[in-house]
Amino acid sequence: MGETAKIILGDKTYELPVITGSEGEKAIDITKLRAITGHITYDPGFGNTGACKSAITFMDGEKGILRYRGIPVEELAEKSTFVETSFLLINGHLPTRAELNRFSVLLNDHSLVHEDMQAFFTNFPRSAHPMGILSSMVNALRSFYPKLDGHSKDQDIVVQMTRLLSKVRTMAAISYKISMGHKVVYPRPDLSYCANFLNMMFDSPVRPYKMDDDMVKALNVFWILHADHEQNCSTSAVRLVGSARVNLYAAISAGISALWGPLHGGANQAVIQMLKEIHAAGGDMEPFLARARDRNDPFRLMGFGHRVYKTYDPRAKIMKAMVHKVLAKLDIHDPLLDIAQKLEEVALRDAYFIDHNLYPNVDFYAGILLRALGIPTDMFTVMFAIGRLPGWISQWKEAQDDPDWKLHRPRQVYVGKNENKYLYMDERLEL
Ligand code: ACO
C-alpha cells in the first residue's frame, strides 16, 4: 500500500489511502470511510472535497496557474481560437488540420436553429432575463432534436455536443435581435465562429456590420478565458445533474441556471452595475469599500475574490490587457475603466483586501470588454455561458466515461427534531 492517512475515532485507528494527482496534489480517499467507521465527512461548500478525478483543467489558486489539458491559458489566449480550444477541451488534444476542418464543418452544419423555436423566444415577456430564456431553450433542444434513428449512442453524443456549441451561440443572438424587435440574422458559412456571432448580433439591413479582426480576436480571447475552470459551481451542477444520466441538454441547462447567480457568472453584470453606481456617485469609491469591509453588511466588491485563487486571477490579467487593446483600437474612453483601475489600485493596497487575499477575478474587467464590443449588459452572463460550454461538455463527457462514476448523492448531518408525534388539529397550540 502506498501513502496512507490515519484517522483515530475512539480507541480505533483506521488507515485510508492517499491519492496523488499528476501535479502533486494529495487527497485522502474516503470512499470506504462510512463503511468502515460509520462516520461521514462534513464540508459545507465542498471546499475540501474532491468530487472526481479529472484530466481536463489544472488550476493552482496560490500560484495563479490555469491550464487546459496542460496548456497554459496565456498561450491559448495568444495563439489559439475558441473553436480550437473547445476541441482541445472536449477531445483532450489539439486538433490536426483535418480534425479542425471537420469540426468547423460540423459547427457550421448545426448552426441553424429550428424555425419553430423562434416562437418561444418571441413569447417570453420582454423583461425576461436572457439567462432564464437560455436555460429554458437549451432544455427544450431535446424536444426539437430527439435522438436520430440509426445513430449509435456515441454518434448521438457527438451531434448533441456540436449542436449545443453551435446553436447556443445562434440562440443568444436570436434572443437579442427579438428583444430589440429586429429581424433575425442567420449564421453564414463564410464566417468563423466568433465573427458569425458578432454578425448575427449586429448586422442590420440598414447598417451592415463591419467586421474587424481585432474585435473577432477579442471575442476569441474572451471565450477562451471562460472555456473551463474545473469543478466550479455550474460545472458541478452539470456533473451532478448529469450523474442521473439525464440527456446532455438538461445537464447543461442546469449549469446555465447555476451560472446565472451573482456570486458566480452573474458577477460580470454586477460589476458594471457597481462601477456605474460609483460613477453616478461622482467617482467616490470609499463608501463602497467601507461597505465591503463591514462584516455586518452583505455587500461585496463585485469582481473581487475567488474560492480558489488567493492571488491575481490569471484570466483577469489577460482580460485587462485585452480591454486596453480594444478601447485603444476603437478609440473609446470608458470612464468605467478609469474607475475599475482606481478601485483595483486602492483595494490592492487596502489591509482588508490584503488580509482576505482578495484580488480581481475574471469578471472584473470582462464587462468593460463586452461593453466595448457592443454587448448589452443583461447579456453579459450569456456571453460567459457560451464560453463555458466546451468546459461543461467536456466535464460531462469525462464523467459519463468514468468507470468510477456514480449517481451523486451527498449525505447530511441531521440536526432536526427527534421522532415526533402527529397532532390532530385541536391538539395543536395556537401561537
Ligand atoms: N468583497 C468583500 N469581502 C469579500 C469578498 C468581496 N468581493 N469576497 C470575499 N470576501 C470576504 C468575506 O466577507 C469573508 O470575510 P470574513 O472571513 O471576514 O467573514 C471572506 O472574504 C471569505 O469569504 P467567503 O464568501 O467565505 O469566500 P468564498 O471563497 O466562498 O468566496 C466568492 C468566493 C463567492 C467568489 C466571493 O469572493 C465573492 O462573493 N466575490 C464577489 C462576487 C464575484 O466577483 N463573483 C465572481 C467569482 S469568479 C466566477 O465565478 C467566474
Name the residue of 59, 312, 356, 362 whose CB sits within 8 Å of the most ligand 1 atoms, as the mutation to test its pocket: 356
300 lines ligand 1 (CB under 6 A): yes
Distance CA 155, CA 157 (A): 5
Overall average pLDDT of the 187-197 stretch: 96
Name the residue of 46, 226, 307 whose CB sits within 8 Å of the most ligand 1 atoms, as the mutation to test its pocket: 307
Question: pLDDT tens digit string along 352-387?
Answer: 999 999 999 999 999 999 999 999 998 999 999 999
Distance CA 372, CA 242 (A): 36
Ligand 1: which residue has its CA nearest to atom 19? Answer: 295
Residue 120 pLDDT level (bands cut at 50, 70, 90)? confident
Overall average pLDDT of the 39-52 stretch: 96
Residue 244 pLDDT level (bands cut at 50, 70, 90)? very high
Question: pLDDT tens digit string along 216-231?
Answer: 999 999 999 999 999 9
3 state SS of 269: helix
Distance CA 113, CA 50 (A): 38
Question: What pLDDT sits at residue 234?
Answer: 97
Ligand 1 geometric centre to CA of 208 (Å) = 43
Residue 270 pLDDT level (bands cut at 50, 70, 90)? very high
Name the residue of 235, 300, 312, 315 whose CB sits within 8 Å of the most ligand 1 atoms, as the mutation to test its pocket: 300
Residue of 306, 324, 333, 378 marked active site: 306
* Mean pLDDT, all residues of the chain: 94
334 noted as active-site residue = no
Question: pLDDT tens digit string along 327-339?
Answer: 999 999 999 999 9
Is the pLDDT assigned to residue 148 strictly greater than 80?
Answer: no
Is the pLDDT assigned to residue 150 strictly greater than 80?
Answer: no
267 lines ligand 1 (CB under 6 A): yes
Question: What pLDDT sits at residue 128?
Answer: 86
331 noted as active-site residue = no
What's the grid cell of residue 9? 475515532
Is the pLDDT assigned to residue 121 strictly greater than 90?
Answer: no
Question: What pLDDT sits at residue 209?
Answer: 96
Please state the atom number of ligand 1 nearest to the C-alpha of residue 233. Answer: 50
361 lines ligand 1 (CB under 6 A): yes
Question: What pLDDT sits at residue 147?
Answer: 78
3 state SS of 247: coil
Terminal Cα distance for the chain, rounded: 61
What's the pTM?
Answer: 0.94
Residue 424 pLDDT level (bands cut at 50, 70, 90)? very high
Question: pLDDT tens digit string along 292-325?
Answer: 999 999 999 999 999 899 999 999 999 999 999 9
Q: Are 61 and 310 in contact (CB under 8 A)?
A: yes
Distance CA 183, CA 159 (A): 28
Q: If we measure between CA atoms, which residue out of 219, 134, 129 comes closest to residue 174?
A: 134
293 lines ligand 1 (CB under 6 A): no
Distance CA 303, CA 175 (A): 26
Residue 404 pLDDT level (bands cut at 50, 70, 90)? confident
363 lines ligand 1 (CB under 6 A): yes
Ligand 1: which residue has its CA nearest to atom 24? Answer: 307
Ligand 1 geometric centre to CA of 305 (Å) = 5
Question: What pLDDT sits at residue 409?
Answer: 95
Q: Which long-range contacts (CB under 8 A, 24 or more apart) does 321-324 make?
A: 322/218, 322/221, 322/222, 322/365, 322/369, 323/365, 323/368, 323/369, 323/372
- The half-sphere exposure of 106 on its side-chain side, counting CA atoms within 13 A, is 17
Distance CA 389, CA 226 (A): 9
Share of the chain above pLDDT 70, in %: 100
315 lines ligand 1 (CB under 6 A): no
Overall average pLDDT of the 38-62 stretch: 96
Taking the CA atoms of residue 167, residue 168, residue 170 and residue 176 in that order, the dihedral angle to the nearest 10 degrees is 160
User: 351 versus 129: which is more confidently predicted?
Assistant: 351
301 lines ligand 1 (CB under 6 A): yes
What's the grid cell of residue 222? 474572451
Is the pLDDT assigned to residue 181 strictly greater than 90?
Answer: no
Please state whether beta strands 12-20 and 4-9 pair in parallel, antiparallel, or not at all (unpaired). antiparallel
DSSP 309-353: -SS--HHHHHHHHHHHHHHHHHT---HHHHHHHHHHHHHHH-HHH
Overall average pLDDT of the 208-214 stretch: 96
